[in-house]
Amino acid sequence: MENRALLDEYGSFLRVERGLQPLSVEAYLSDLQQFAGLLGARGLLGARREDVAGFLAFLAGRGISARAMARKLSSLRGLYRWLLRSGQVDADPTLHTRSPSGWKVLPKALAESAVAATLAGAEKRAARPPGAGTSARERGEALRDAAILEVLYAGGLRASEVATLTAGSLDLGSAQLRVLGKGDKERVVPIGRAAVQALEHYLREGRPRLAAPREARLFVTSRGRPVTRQFVWKLVKRATGGASPHTLRHSCATHMVDHGADLRSVQTVLGHADIGTTEIYTHVAMARLRAVHRAHHPREQRWGGKAGQP
């Protein structure tokens, strides 16, 4: 009962004072409940450093990835910093616990050709006129799906951010969106001409066939209701053959860096609060730098006729 009351209070702190989204709060509390389940009668207030180490060992034994373990450790650190500030504990059991090194591994990204094929397929379906086996509603759905995919990749948006876009979020004349991200923080995201064109087609020919007149959300289902985060996940998985919206988000960032974008720009687009989060893409820039070095450094060219060949 002590753990439950403590987590209820901490959840309120995350929602009200930190301004976190419900899904984020749910994820943090789930991690903490898992940890509390291993502590027994001592509860969260009685946790020791060896308990944290044991928790990580337990997770590793169950095959949990280093990245997921690092997220759970971050959840524990957030709780115990709060407990220290509020005077409920005298020491932080997570102090000096090293985060699993795997958290810096770059998430998987699709090849540019794979993204191009996905977007081209969506555009082709959206270009089918009503009739000849395509109803007006199906045409509207195809235009919506194409616009969602373009926006996800062009702006590196999260699924939840796409689902909460409104018609008022758009500034197509300037090719940008106002996005409500984590912690209710708003940012302006630039999008390209392809995404602008897909949105214009959807607004002109698709959304009027799907949305109720007073619906504020930008993207709606065939029943006129706002799409959900789960809807966006299913759409992307179907369109890409198994990838997730996060994969498109990481693809956006990876391809930007690969084409010369600096990390600060990528941080702004993705809405990362800390540049450290964006630094997982550094190795992409380094790989490109190595390729340039092989292609243009005279000592490299001396050792082979073509760049990079020994």
**CB atoms < 10 A from the CB of 67, how many?**
15
144 in active site:
no
Cα separation, 175 vs 153, in Å, equals 14
249 in active site:
yes
Q: Which of 28, 80, 153, 281 is catalytic?
A: 281
Q: Which of 72, 207, 209, 249 is catalytic?
A: 249
DSSP string of 132-147, one letter each residue: TTB-HHHHHHHHHHHH
Q: Which of 15, 49, 182, 288 is catalytic?
A: 182
Q: Of 26, 23, 70, whose CA–CA distance to 182 is shortest?
A: 23
Q: Which of 144, 158, 209, 255 is catalytic?
A: 158
Cα separation, 170 vs 108, in Å, equals 29
- Strands of 176-180's sheet in order across: 170-171, 176-180, 186-190
Q: Which of 77, 217, 246, 288 is catalytic?
A: 246
246 in active site:
yes
Q: Is 165 left (phi over 0), alpha (psi -120 to 50) or beta?
A: beta
80 in active site:
no
Q: Cα separations (Å) of 73 from 49, 88, 100, 153, 154? A: 12, 19, 9, 30, 32
Q: Of 65, 5, 73, 67, whose CA–CA distance to 34 is shortest?
A: 73
Active-site amino acid positions = 158, 182, 246, 249, 272, 281
